[in-house]
Structure 1
Amino acid sequence: MPKNKLNHDTAVVEVIALSGFDKALAYAVPPTCQATLQLGSLVRIPLRRRSELGVVLRFGTDQVVPPGKLKMLFEVVQPYPVLTPDLMELYRWAQKYYAATPEAILETMIPAAIRKGMKPKTRRYISKGKAPTVEELETLEKRAPKQAAILKFIRQQVKPLPRADILKAMKISASACDSLVAKGYLHETDTEEERVAYEDELGDQESVVVETRPVLTEEQDAAVRAIHDAITADVFSVRLLHGVTGSGKTEVYLNAIEKIVAEGGGVIFLVPEVALAPQTVGRVRARLEARGVHTVVWHSHLSEGERYDAWKALASGEAHVVVGARSAVFAPVQNLKLMIVDEEHEPSYKQEESPRYNGRDVAVFRAHLNKSVCVLGSATPSLESLYNVERGKYAVDRILKRVDHRQLPKIHLVDMRREALQGKGASPISRTLANKLVDRFEKKEQSILFLNRRGFSTSILCPDCGYVASCKHCSIPMTFHRTDGKLRCHLCGEQREAPLKCPECQSINIRKKGLGTQKIEDIVQKILPRAKIVRMDADSMSKKNLYRKILNDFRIGKIDLLVGTQMIAKGLDFPNVTLVGLVDADKSLHVEDFRAAERTFQLIVQVSGRSGRGDRAGEVVIQTSTPHAPPIQFARKSDFDGFQLEELEQRREFNYPPFRHLIRHLFRGRNPDKVNFYIEQWLKVLDQEMEGQLEVRGPAPAPIEKIRDEYRFQLWYFAPSASRVIGKLVALRQQFKMDKEVIDLIDVDPMNMS
């Protein structure tokens, strides 16, 4: 049996290295480390004649090691364990379920700043020491007037002051201060200072939440009571909070959080986009800070110092609540009692690089490990979650009305095919949308335009010879960016100057085709020349915290119209927005993905929900070339039940998720013939070893067949349970010999089919 405490006679531990080893190694613990070492500690170990990092998974070992042959670990890197007991179990599960290496999982769970051994930020303060005699002070004034000046200043202060600030203000060198410290006239102390992300989010607007607590609607109150009952039961449960946009789901979350922290429990609150973190953390802090509850932020856009301080606050038990994006699901929260996954349907919860985990599903499993409650919230829940409700695995709470009796926005559907026939030109902004934009600007109301495509034009082509400016390394057209006149590939980053004439036939008729957010920004600026228009997409958000500034400016009315992509499509709450326009609403419908209809429906409903969240009624203009497509019609009528029934029936007919699990196996390499050869050999192995355990479809070229000069082919595996087949698949793959020029990856429950 594995030991659960360190035996000081033997002092042996098993450590999993972060450098690629797939099994734990035994190490002896030197006496200097025995007092600080714990399960889950990050340690430095000797490995391959180098110093490497590892995590202590176990006290003691079953490994047979000759006496005196065990190597000693070097040091304990951090004062607190980097993996709590539940995170250690989560690590083992995620490694197996997502077919990931221990290294990939651990590096995701443990932030880089922690692995680097970062220490707290300290600030040196100086205060008065022993009092100088009159003679000593006179001597200082004669021989060292600067020392005398700083000594007199400090003697007048009531509390210690920052050393650096004083030296800078008085223009005195550090040596003068050091001399006074050496003589005992001054004392120096180092004090830790926490780097608090979004400290300024607790502004006047959010402070109102503390003073004027909202009165819950009947539906909100019922949801709160149901979640409270689940928390009180102290058993694992998952509740789907299905509330229409603007129904006050966040207020339900806040009530649940208050109950948990009042009882000393911990909370993880996940949001799908970094852009939503400032708004969310502001509301949580406004509700909890007055109670002395510390809330931290956790996502990849933080500085290493901010990330370290957030980790330390949670690991030490100083903070009990964390708000963050996908990776916050691994935050070391103590006594975890509540997991909240807002906008649970969002594909951004799925990581596309190894380890390819889904933050929502990991949250559910972590809640299971802690016997806690997981609340999944959305106005457009995923079909997987709805299917779990149907099967009785999840409970559901529904909020079908907006707060304060606000109406859902009025939706206008514009057929862009008719628009092109009736007008003099094919403008991407319909006359209906243009007129409403002008009307809102004149009324001093705000608008949002959504287009899920950045850049100025999606392609450059020649109508004379058919030439298309494509990436040399990827099988997609390059996107033209007006700001610098360059063509860019959004997959590999390749860029080059946009041609003025066709490189093939030298025609000067070469044209820019398609739409991007830059082009929409230009067109709307001509419609509203006096308006303040800002674009928000991956190209414009290159500077840290720029998205925070833009959203804050929009909130306080400095911006009239926001043009953006996915990052403005969900969760944002701006009461003065009364018009939302979806420029190319059916773009997501025409992709090779069985979830295309679901994604389109969700996107339209979510973007539409940004309108009419204040006192004034909202409107939405949906521009489409396929107005009769079922997802668009269901979204237009806000008919979620109708869409769910139709889409689930189609999925059931083809036995697609959620009725079976899907595993995607992607093969890539520079030589397509070699890639196909190894796929065929692998299929023979599957036929022999996995017959009847899964359905195999393919091979077929991936929708984007080439990226970075590598050709891509895929297999799809369908199985009733991914966990029952993934172990054997991985074992077979490890035994299968494949050319090093062919790379493959296994993606369990994929969200991206490209």
Structure 2
Amino acid sequence: MTETVGVHPLAGFDKLLHYKVPESLRAQLQVGSLVRIPIVNRFHLGIVAEFSAPKDFPVERCKPLAGLVYPFPALPPDLLRLAHWMSAYYAAGLDAIIEAMLPVAVRKAAALKQEKLLAPAVPPGLPGAPTDDEIAALAKRAPAQAKVFAFLLSQPRPVAKSLVLDRLTVTAAAINGLINRGWVREQTRRVERIAYDDAHSAGEHVAAQPHRLNSEQQAAVDVLTPLLSAAQPKFGVQLLFGVTGSGKTEVYLRAIQTALAAGGGVAFLVPEVALTPQTVARLRSRLEAIAPGHRCVVWHSHLSEGERLDGWLALATGEARVVVGARSAVFAPVQDLRLIVVDEEHEPAYKQDETPRYHGRDTAIMRAKLAGALCLLGSATPSLETWANASSGKYGLLKLTQRIDDRKLPFIDIVDMRVECMQQRGPATLSKRLVEGMRARISRGEQTILFINRRGYSSAMQCRKCGHVEECPHCSVSMTYHRADETLRCHLCGQQGNAPSRCPSCGAPDIKWRGTGTQRVEEAVRRVLPNARLERIDSDTMAKKHRFREILGDFRAGKIDILVGTQMIAKGLDFPNVTLVGLVDADLSMHVPDFRANERTFQLLVQVAGRSGRGDRAGEVVVQTFTPEAGAIQFSRHADFTGFAETEIKMRREFGYPPARHLLHHLFRGPNPEKLQFFAEQWKNRVAAALGEKVTLAGPAAAPIEKIKDEYRWQLWYFCNAPVTGIVAELGKLRADFAWPEDMVQVLDVDPVNLC
């Protein structure tokens, strides 16, 4: 080993620093080790990146490493290589990426949670144990000590010291007295915090025994098994394209079983934290049956720091070999990684909207490549980028065209709300067809899900007299009305105020609430079905940590008739007793300034429809729309993904949108819109001169939402005609040399999924 190492500091700046290696650390130090380093007069943590130093480097001037945090690498080699790739591809600093890979508790070198246990030093009846006479004498001299000792003798195993103090209402002095006498021994044990190992998991477990595969599932498993069981596994990507309810999860479970049997590790990614409990329950049930001792670690941002730390340690030490979680689970330190599953790979939730702005699916594919693992993507409505790669042969394609047990796909009923509003002589939240369907389900003991992708009661407050719309003072959007507490809220910046009874502009009392949200849908249902057992799921009702799982547990147990919710309930959840799904406003996702609007609408309709009829009874879907003739709605009616994809990709290629080319989004933010426009145009001219035909530029222009949190927003688009990494590198050099004003922030987003 060389005398010096290069370390990436976790100290808020992106620069490699070099340190001497003390003799005491040389045997344990590895690339990826988490070390303590001195910087100026403070100690920080850093990741060892290399065992070398620049030529003619003055080693004698180096400070020594201050210590090693863990005796194993905090970042395995494949993760360290992944960090470098992400830095180059996503135009992000290496320090920001490494911080995203490590839980906060690891970056703080947090101590493990421990508890003290008490037990008799010598079991009764063995030489050296206290005699009956000695115990009787103790009871007279020190009754509190005698009380503790008698309790410990009655316990079959060591007891937590905290429990003894609490239950017996004694002081620590009584326990210390017994320890000093040599009658009681005290030992320390690590306490492991296991996520989702609690009462809220009740009812989430599924059958531990494997289901019998149909012919299509078996064909998919037959392709995956040799890839996962090979002595020398190779990188590859397979797309499991299956209609909703076709049994993709069972194929995942068989693949995981094969990977574990071959000695490998597994990462299972889901797009939403909400899907994690169900996935964890399935995996834990199956692992307990087929591979006792295998642990499944949960990984997402809603866990406590302690839960994340304990899960990270279990994976880093090889104690656990399976991780399930949201997009950040792609960074879990799984040992001997052999399989990454990306469920519902099409979901925009896989894209991080803060630095580093990585895509969980694409990052998973690259990690699989660096680790020599298989990446299995799954969806009933694949992203068009993934579908293009599968159609071209770049990815393998596995198809599941039938639902399990040949169950029928739900019947989709399109309701023209233009006609409905005329028949009801005014705005209608719920169509007669949807109300009749809900009433029939309640009478039969079946369940209904209503989906509306907007929380709150109404999306805007408008005066009928002067037309005034109350907008957020800090953002260029209207305030959303929340009827539960009579407030107006901005869903972008959090601004909140009391809902006025009169127009703030002209004073007229004639106020109209426009648009529909989850609260208005809930109110409409309670009005027409007052005896229905109804619950609402959105981010407003989910403030309590376990509330989401509590509601899903009650719904699964049949304690709820109708569930109203936002996108949280549209993805991947499996409720066999749901036979009706209502999409209250199918137009919300379609009429937005985004070239992916049709794709998002089609995916949403098919995925929501897939929640219906997953049990023995046929399902129905009611789609309410003002544009029933739209292509996305008509294709979704027949679940015709192939037809939709062919039509949409043809249109995208005509205009050069992804998947025809990669797209980069450059956002400029600041307090002065005129200054933003000026510098954005100057920057565009600089890029056009430097990159020429490598990119096609569009803009600059004001963003669709022009102001958020008192910052104006302008944007510029780069359509890439050359490899992305090269363009990002050239843009990085240009950005470093450009004279940006101090009050202007600019953010580059590679492969953006949200254009607003």
One-letter identity of the residue aligned with 1:478: M
Q: Secondary structure at the match of 1:605?
A: helix
Between the aligned partners of 1:589 and 1:207, the Cα distance in structure 2 is 37
**1:124 correspondence with 2:116:** yes
Question: What letter matches 1:194 in structure 2?
Answer: E
Partner of 1:217: 214
With over 3 angstroms needed to count, the CA separation of the structure-2 counterparts of 1:119 and 1:719, relative to structure 1, is: same
**2:752 maps to which residue?**
750
Please state how far the C-alpha of 1:199 moved relative to its aligned partner: 1.5
- The question of whether the paired residues in 1 share the 8 Å contact of 2:463 and 2:510 is answered with yes
What is the rounded CA distance, in whole Å, between the counterparts of 1:473 and 1:192 in structure 2?
Answer: 48
Alignment deviations for residues 502-552 of structure 1 (CA, whole Å, 9 cap, x no partner): 111111112211111011001101121111111111111111121111111
Find the residue that maps to 1:238 and give its secondary structure.
strand
Matched, 1:611 2:612: yes
Q: Which amino acid aligns with 2:213?
A: L
Is it true that 1:254 corresponds to 2:253 in the alignment?
yes
Deviation at 1:67, TM superposition (A): 4.2
Corresponding position of 1:231:
228
TM-superposed CA distance for 1:63, in Å, is: 5.3
Gaps of 5+ in 1: 1-5
Distance in 2 between residues matched to 1:702 and 1:79, nearest whole Å: 49
Distance 1:33 1:139, change over 3 A: farther
How far residue 137 of structure 1 moved from its aligned partner, in angstroms, is: 3.3
Alpha-carbon separation, structure 1, partners of 2:29 and 2:552: 45
TM-score norm. by structure 2 comes to: 0.96
- Aligned match of 2:469: 468
What is the CA-CA distance between 1:161 and the residue it aligns to?
A: 1.9
Distance in 1 separating the partners of 2:151 and 2:536? 51
Is the Cα–Cα contact under 8 Å of residues 322 and 328 in structure 1 kept in the other structure? yes
Displacement, 1:312? Answer: 0.6
Q: Out of 189-198 and 64-73, give the one that drifted further.
A: 64-73
**C-alpha distance in 2, partners of 1:266/1:530?**
50
- CA 1:520 to 1:203, structure 2 compared with 1: closer, same or farther past 3 Å? closer
**Offset at residue 389 of structure 1 (A):** 1.3
Q: 1:134 to 1:569 in 2, by over 3 A?
A: closer
Mapping for residues 508-527 of structure 1, pairs under 5 Å? 508-527=509-528
CA distance in 2, matches of 1:522, 1:158: 56
The CA deviation string for residues 91-128 of structure 1, in whole angstroms up to 9 with x for no partner, is: 00001100011221111100101111122222211111
For residues 643-658 of structure 1, what are the structure 2 equivalents within 5 Å? 643-658=644-659
Contact 1:201 1:279 survives alignment (8 Å): no
Say whether the 8 Å CA contact 2:695–2:720 is kept in structure 1: yes
- Give how far 1:324 is off: 0.3
Tell me the equivalent position of 1:724: 726
Matched-pair contact (CA < 8 Å) for 1:569–1:607 = yes
Instruction: Check conservation: 1:202, 1:285, Cα contact below 8 A.
Output: no
Distance 1:146 1:724, change over 3 A: same
Query: Do the aligned partners of 1:78 and 1:114 also contact (CA within 8 Å) in 2?
Result: no
What does residue 590 of structure 2 align with?
589
1: CA distance between counterparts of 2:712 and 2:202?
A: 54
For 1:231 and 1:148, the matched residues in 2 are separated by 60
Match of 1:37 in 2: 29
- Name 1:195's counterpart in structure 2: 193
Superposed displacement of residue 59, structure 1: 1.8
Q: Are positions 1:368 and 2:369 aligned together?
A: yes
Q: Deviations over 1:414-447 (max 9, x none)?
A: 0000011112332210001011111111111000
Q: Residue 100 in 1 paired to residue 99 in 2?
A: no
Residues 26, 63 of structure 1: 8 Å contact kept? no
CA displacement at 1:340 relative to structure 2: 0.3
Q: Comparing 742-751 with 389-398, which one deviates more in the overlay?
A: 389-398
SS at match of 2:492: coil
Query: Which residue is 2:45 aligned to?
Result: 53
Counterpart position of 1:269:
268
Contact 1:201 1:278 in 2 (8 A): no
Quote the Cα distance in structure 1 between the aligned partners of 2:138 and 2:174: 11
Q: C-alpha distance in 1, partners of 2:718/2:679?
A: 17
2:176 corresponds, among 171, 175, 178, to 178
Corresponding position of 1:555: 556
Counterpart Cα distance in 2 of 1:199 and 1:80: 27
State the AA in 2 paired with 1:313. Answer: A
In the alignment, which residue of structure 2 is the partner of 1:17? 9
- In the alignment, structure 1 residue 144 sits paired with structure 2 residue 142: yes
Instruction: Report the CA distance between 1:647 and its aligned residue.
Output: 0.2
- Separation in 1 of the partners of 2:513 and 2:588? 18
- Mapped contact 1:201–1:282 kept (Cα < 8 A): no
Matches within 5 A, 1:658-697: 658-697=659-698
Q: Is 2:32–2:73's contact at 8 Å kept on the other side of the alignment?
A: yes
The separation in 2 between residues aligned to 1:137 and 1:434, in whole angstroms, is 75
What SS is found at the alignment partner of 2:365? Answer: helix
Distance 1:630 1:76, change over 3 A: same
The one-letter amino acid paired with 1:210 is: A
- Cα 1:204–1:262 shift into 2, 3 Å: farther
Deviates more, 1:721-730 or 1:293-302: 721-730
- Give the whole-Å Cα distance in 1 for the aligned partners of 2:45 and 2:207: 45
List, as ranges, runs of 4+ consecutive aligned residues in structure 1 with deviation greater than 6 Å: 201-204
**8 Å Cα contact 1:592/1:753 also seen in 2:** yes
1:16 to 1:208, Cα distance in 2 relative to 1, 3 A: closer
Residues 202 and 63 (structure 1 numbering): CA distance in 2 closer, same or farther, change over 3 Å? Answer: farther
> Structure 1 69/187 Cα, relative in aligned 2: closer, same or farther at 3 Å?
same
Conserved? CA contact 1:41–1:82, under 8 Å: yes
Cα deviation 1:620-659 (Å, max 9, x = unaligned): 0000000000000000111111101100110011111001
Is the contact between residue 208 and residue 288 of structure 2 (CA under 8 Å) also seen in structure 1? no
Query: Does structure 2 conserve the Cα–Cα contact (< 8 Å) formed by 1:202 and 1:282?
Result: no
Q: Deviations over 1:179-227 (max 9, x none)?
A: 111221111111112111111489776666224x311010011011111
SS of residue paired to 1:123: strand
Contact 1:20 1:101 in 2 (8 A): no
Q: Secondary structure at the match of 1:150?
A: helix
- How far 1:230 moved relative to its partner? 2.4
Taking the aligned partners of 1:435 and 1:67, their CA distance within structure 2 comes to: 80
AA partner of residue 419 (structure 1): E
Q: 3-state DSSP class of the match of 1:68?
A: helix
Contact 1:202 1:286 in 2 (8 A): no
What's 1:3 paired with?
Answer: none
Report the 3-state secondary structure (helix = DSSP H, G, I; strand = E; otherwise coil) of the residue aligned with 2:150. helix
Structure 1 stretch displaced more, 705-714 or 721-730: 721-730
Deviations 1:677-713 (A, max 9, x none): 2112212211221111111111111110111111111
2:713 counterpart SS class? strand
Q: Distance in 1 between matches of 2:667 and 2:56?
A: 39
Work out the CA distance in 1 between the residues paired with 2:678 and 2:55.
41
Q: Assess, with a 3 A threshold, how the Cα gap between structure 1 residues 362 and 223 changes in structure 2: closer, same or farther.
A: same
Paired residues for 1:336-351 under 5 Å:
336-351=337-352
Give CA deviations for 1:660-686 in whole Å, capped at 9, x if unaligned.
Answer: 000000111100111112112212211
RMSD of the TM alignment (CA)?
1.5
Q: Which structure 2 residue ranges, 5 or more long, are not aligned?
A: 122-127
Report the residue type matching 1:652 in the other structure: R
Q: Distance in 2 between matches of 1:103 and 1:634?
A: 45
Contact 1:42 1:78 in 2 (8 A): yes
- Which residue in 2 is equivalent to 1:88? 80
Letter in 2 for 1:501: R
Matched, 1:77 2:69: yes
Q: Residues 208, 545 of structure 1: CA spacing in aligned structure 2 closer, same or farther, 3 A cutoff? A: closer
Distance in 1 (CA, whole Å) between partners of 2:540 and 2:95 is: 32
When structure 1 is superposed on structure 2, of 312-321 and 687-696 the one drifting more is 687-696
Task: Give, in whole Å, the separation in 2 of the partners of 1:528 and 1:135.
Answer: 74
SS in 2 for 1:699: strand
TM-score (norm 1): 0.97
Cα deviation for residue 138 of structure 1 reads 4.2
Residues 25 and 68 in structure 2, CA contact (< 8 A), matched pair in contact too: yes
Find the residue that maps to 2:118 and give its secondary structure: strand
d(CA) in 1 for partners of 2:149, 2:55: 63
Call closer, same or farther: CA 1:159–1:200 in 2, change over 3 Å. closer
Of 99, 114, 120 in structure 1, the residue corresponding to residue 106 of structure 2 is 114
